[in-house]
């Protein structure tokens, strides 16, 4: 699951939650939510939803499309609960689930409700996850599915995410954005590809992503292409890491997340990766030992791709970030990659 405000939206469209000093008690509740559901009247939902959020002091971004809703909001707990109750008062959103986190300061600067063609961009018409998604597999049943030797296991995330951790035996499509996945699927369905039919029968496929949203849509894509045995990990990698004891886990490495933790491990403990603020690739402790690494400015992956003038701009941005942190304020220049 899949997880992103000019000030708080990432360069690739994702949401972020800035880090705040641990010495301050959290005063704000954030809620990340999504649901694929047929909403043909989604444009008419925008104004009353925005009014509800503003009336309760809630900020963030919510995306509405004919295929459902997706976004992250923050505010006082009572305000967040009021907005969630309002959303669930629509019979189509009664089962809407959300994930909560806390922040010491308001992580968003305004409230936006945006109308979109898709709540997560795949770029393929007539793929309807609410009607066509694959079969959910609970985290506690995932290992048993992986034991099937005929299974084709596909990581639907982007290459920079896969690079720091994935499930044993998973195929990495090496995409840079989610919208590249359909092309990879078509390529792999050709003779000799990982998704090519065997003796005239399409293979059994399981897919997974960070929080669930991308694998719901990717399994719907496969169903639209005639695959019958298609499965996806319910709640995504995050739910698996939260649920499964490490001793029984098939997960290898860490899981990239779209907030200031950068990565998490089993039990959702914060991982060892940080983020390059120039190219936004995750960096290991070893990466940060490179002579080309400069906090907030460059890393070995991107040092050669930016000019000295750009690096000077990044140094000034980093100086402003550090000043904001010292004053216990968030800084609008801090950005994360998105889940697209």
CATH of the domain at 82: 3.30.70.100
Give the tens place of pLDDT for each residue, 50-88: 999 999 999 999 999 999 999 989 999 999 999 999 999
Q: How far apart are CA 52 and CA 47, in angstroms?
A: 9
How far, in Å, are 149, 150, 233, 337 from residue 169 at the CA level?
A: 10, 12, 15, 25
The bridge status of strand 282-283 relative to strand 274-275 is antiparallel
**Is 15 part of a structural domain of the chain?**
no
Residue 9 has pLDDT above 70, yes or no: no
pLDDT value, residue 329: 64
Q: What's the domain range around 88?
A: 28-115
Q: Report helix angle 213-224 to 181-189, nearest 10.
A: 40
Q: Residue 76 is encoded by which pair of tokens?
A: 């006082």
- Cα Rg of the chain, angstroms: 20
Q: Is 295 helix (H, G, I), strand (E, B) or coil?
A: coil
**Is residue 154 located within the same domain as residue 203?**
yes
Read off the pLDDT of each residue in 157-168 and give the average, rounded to a whole number. 95
Residue 224, H or E segment: helix 213-224
Alpha helices, H only, 225-306: 236-243
pLDDT of residue 8: 35
Residue pointed to by tokens 């599915």: 145
Please report the beta strands in 88-196, taking only residues with DSSP state E, as ranges in sequence order.
97-103, 111-115, 135-137, 152-155, 165-167
- Is 305 among the domain residues? yes
**What is the distance between the alpha carbons of residues 181 and 339, in angstroms, rounded to a whole number?**
13
- Cα 319 to Cα 97: distance, rounded to the nearest angstrom: 39
Among residues 213, 248, 283, the one where a domain terminates is: 248
- Strand (E) or helix (H) holding 74: strand 68-75
Mean pLDDT value of segment 183-205: 95
Same-domain pairing of 104 and 134? no
Query: Is pLDDT larger for residue 219 or for residue 275?
Result: 219
Band (pLDDT 50/70/90 cuts) for residue 102 is: confident
26 DSSP assignment: P
Torsion (CA) 88, 89, 92, 98 in degrees, nearest 10: 0
124 part of a folded domain: no
Looking at 115, 148, 180, the residue that finishes a domain is: 115
| pLDDT of 338 strictly over 70 | no
Given this model, what pLDDT does residue 340 score? 56
Tokens representing residue 230 in the block: 């298609």
pLDDT tens per residue across span 302-329: 999 999 999 999 999 889 888 877 876 6
The tokens describing 183, both together, are 């092309």
Catalytic residue status for 215: no
Determine the average pLDDT of the residues in 157-174: 96
Vertex 241 angle, CA 235 and 245, to 5° = 125
The upper half-sphere exposure of residue 195, i.e. CA atoms within 13 Å in the direction of its Cβ, equals: 28
What was the pLDDT predicted at 254? 95
Mind listing the pLDDT tens digit for each residue in 137-153? Answer: 999 999 999 999 999 99
| Phi, psi for residue 49 in degrees, rounded to 5 | -70, -40
Assess if residue 13 is contained within a domain.
no
Looking at the structure, tell me whether residues 76 and 134 fall in a common domain.
no
Query: Tell me: the pLDDT tens digits for 253-282?
Result: 999 987 767 888 998 888 889 889 888 889
Torsion angles phi and psi, residue 326, rounded to 5: -65, -30
pLDDT-derived band of residue 221, with 50, 70 and 90 as boundaries? Answer: very high
261 contacts 17 by C-beta, under 8 angstroms: no
CATH number of the domain at 144, please.
Answer: 3.40.250.10
- Find the catalytic residue in 52, 209, 215, 255: 209
Backbone angles phi, psi at 40, to 5 degrees: -60, -25
More confident residue, 105 or 235: 235
Euclidean distance between CA atoms 260 and 165, whole angstroms: 17
Residue 337 binned pLDDT confidence (cut-offs 50, 70, 90): very low
Domain count, the chain: 3
pLDDT averaged over the chain?
A: 88
């Amino acid at each position: 699951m899949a997880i992103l405000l000019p000030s708080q939206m990432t360069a690739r469209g994702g949401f972020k939650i800035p880090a705040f000093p641990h010495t301050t008690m959290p005063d704000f509740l954030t809620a990340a939510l999504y649901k694929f559901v047929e909403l043909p009247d989604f444009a008419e939902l925008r104004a009353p939803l925005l009014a509800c959020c503003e009336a309760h002091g809630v900020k963030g971004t919510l995306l509405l499309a004919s295929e459902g809703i997706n976004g992250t909001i923050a505010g006082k707990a009572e305000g967040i609960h009021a907005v969630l109750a309002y959303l669930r008062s629509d019979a189509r959103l009664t089962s809407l689930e959300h994930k909560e986190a806390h922040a010491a300061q308001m992580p968003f600067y305004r409230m936006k409700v945006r109308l979109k063609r898709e709540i997560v961009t795949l770029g393929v018409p007539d793929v309807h996850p609410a009607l066509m998604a694959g079969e959910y597999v609970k985290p506690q049943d995932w290992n048993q599915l992986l034991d099937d030797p005929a299974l084709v296991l596909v990581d639907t995330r982007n290459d920079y995410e896969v690079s720091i951790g994935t499930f044993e035996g998973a195929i990495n499509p090496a995409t840079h954005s989610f919208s590249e996945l359909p092309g990879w699927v078509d390529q792999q369905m050709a003779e000799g590809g990982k998704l090519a039919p065997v003796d005239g029968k399409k293979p059994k496929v399981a897919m997974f992503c960070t929080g669930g949203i991308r694998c719901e849509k990717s399994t719907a894509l496969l169903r639209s292409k005639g695959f019958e045995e298609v499965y996806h990990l319910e709640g995504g990698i995050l739910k698996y890491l939260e649920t499964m004891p490490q001793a029984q886990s098939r997960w290898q490495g860490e899981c990239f997340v779209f907030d200031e933790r950068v990565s998490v491990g089993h039990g959702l403990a914060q991982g060892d990766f940080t983020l390059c603020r120039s190219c936004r690739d995750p960096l290991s402790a070893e990466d940060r030992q490179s002579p080309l690494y400069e906090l907030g400015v460059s890393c070995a992956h991107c040092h050669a791709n930016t000019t000295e003038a750009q690096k000077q701009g990044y140094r000034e941005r980093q100086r402003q970030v550090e000043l904001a942190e010292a004053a216990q304020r968030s800084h609008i220049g801090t950005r994360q990659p998105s889940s697209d």
